[in-house]
């Protein structure tokens, strides 16, 4: 299978004001606070047109600082295809990356950083890919 970094999947914001941020996106843009996998950290997923487009990480209970290199934008995600091919491609290029399996899901993720230290998340729904 060939690799394909497709359309923008979602963006992620780290916030110390989760309730206020959710309320803003619901009231101002009409997003809907919806289902979220059982991650081991608090947050919310806000949906637009049925798609989870904004993922919020609640960092209010942590001492985590907002990184000066990216501000509150934590990462940018793309819906992608070719999970195994992408791993091989990145290994062949010597690009550091990490793989994550989303809990209770067939979604696999690859995280890497661009030369500006922006984290990129590539999402692959493995149920739609050959074994």
CATH of the domain at 80: 3.10.180.10
Which contiguous run of DSSP H or E holds residue 42? Answer: none
- Whole domain around residue 73: which residue ranges? 4-128
pLDDT along the chain (131 residues), means of 10: 78 87 83 93 92 90 72 78 90 93 91 77 83 60
Given a contact cutoff of 8 angstroms between Cβ atoms, the answer to whether 80 and 5 are in contact is yes
Task: For residue range 46-81, list pLDDT tens digits in order.
Answer: 998 899 988 998 988 888 776 666 556 778 888 888
Per the structure, the count of domains in the chain is 1
Structure letter (DSSP) for residue 128: G
Task: Tell me the two tokens of residue 126.
Answer: 């493995």
Given a contact cutoff of 8 angstroms between Cβ atoms, the answer to whether 121 and 76 are in contact is yes
Structure letter (DSSP) for residue 66: P
Task: Tell me the two tokens of residue 79.
Answer: 């819906």
């Amino acid at each position: 299978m060939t690799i394909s970094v497709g359309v923008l999947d979602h963006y992620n914001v780290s916030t110390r004001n989760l309730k206020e941020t959710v309320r803003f996106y619901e009231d101002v843009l009409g997003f809907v606070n919806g289902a979220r996998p059982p991650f081991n950290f608090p947050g919310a997923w806000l949906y637009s047109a049925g798609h989870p487009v904004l993922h919020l990480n609640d960092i209010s209970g942590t001492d985590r600082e907002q990184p000066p290199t990216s501000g509150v934008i934590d990462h940018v995600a793309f819906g992608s295809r070719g999970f195994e091919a992408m791993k091989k491609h990145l290994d062949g290029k010597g690009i550091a990356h990490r793989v994550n399996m989303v809990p209770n899901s067939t979604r696999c993720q690859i995280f890497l950083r661009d030369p500006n230290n922006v984290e990129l998340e590539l999402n692959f729904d493995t149920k739609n890919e050959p074994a």
